[in-house]
Amino acid sequence: MKQLKRVTLLTVLMVMVGMGASISLKAAIGVGAWDAMAQSVSYLSGIKIGTIGMVFNSLCVLGQILILKKNFKWIQLLQLPLNIFLGTLINFFLYDVLGPITIDSYMINLFLLLGALVLMALIVSAVMVLNVVTFALEGFCMAISQATRFDFPKIRQGMDFLSVAVVLILTFGFSLPLTLREGTIIGMLLFAPLMGFFMAKLRPLFKRLDLLEEESVGKVEIKSGEQYKAMD
């Protein structure tokens, strides 16, 4: 019964992640480095961004399996259906729900971005505290960290630098719209502090609601704190 509650909550949280990500993309004033790379590939290929995200995140899961081998925890295969679910939600919200809406005001777009950042920080915090399954990119970076002994934050930051490099190459090489803008910087400044605030509030709440696996509570706190120092 406890696991059912945890998985049900995770599913609801993923719906909200899809909604928040779609709002930030709709604002069109810059997204995080990883999302910006997916958006640039979407511009180049004509494939919907949620579908590109499914491919990228599935490759991250495959990378975890190849790196960790027998140490890979098979419950993390839940990342695959969750990736497909999340990508489908982003396509639905971004193209079907928000697609027909035109927003010409920069201030409205800015408020949309800020609202999406707060929502995303809240939901990602909840997912990390719940600790049913990790996000694919973070799981991939953690696998590299485990195999190489390099610090997780440095590897996660390195992925951001790599994503930025790919975005710039695609943007100037194929004359694509620039997906790295002021919203990217705003996210870098606000996301991690918001994560720290929300995780501190959600952890005791989830304990009271009996949603946490007691033996992993300490690990969640350590890992999540490390992970999101370098998150975009």
Is 10 among the domain residues?
yes
Range of the domain at 212: 2-227
Residue 230's region, left for phi above 0, alpha for psi from -120 to 50, else beta, is alpha
Is 216 among the domain residues?
yes
Q: What Cα–Cα distance (Å) separates residue 158 from each residue in 170, 209, 230?
A: 18, 37, 9
Can you give the pLDDT at residue 187?
Answer: 85
Is 232 among the domain residues?
no
Give me the residue label for tokens 């890979």. Answer: 72
Question: By the 8 A CB rule, do 32 and 228 touch?
Answer: no
Question: By the 8 A CB rule, do 13 and 130 touch?
Answer: yes
Can you give the pLDDT at residue 202?
Answer: 93
Give me the residue label for tokens 């995770």. Answer: 10
Is 65 among the domain residues?
yes
As averages over each run of 10 residues, the pLDDT of the chain (232 residues) reads 84 92 93 92 96 96 95 89 94 95 93 93 88 87 90 86 93 94 88 86 91 58 40 37
The tokens describing 56, both together, are 């990228």
Can you give the pLDDT at residue 214?
Answer: 62
Rounded Cα distance, 145 and 226, in Å = 12
Is 85 among the domain residues?
yes
Number of domains in the chain: 1
Is 187 among the domain residues?
yes
Identity (one letter) of the amino acid at 25? L
Q: What is the pTM of this model?
A: 0.84
Give me the residue label for tokens 């709440």. Answer: 205
E strand spans, the chain:
none
Rounded Cα distance, 133 and 11, in Å = 11
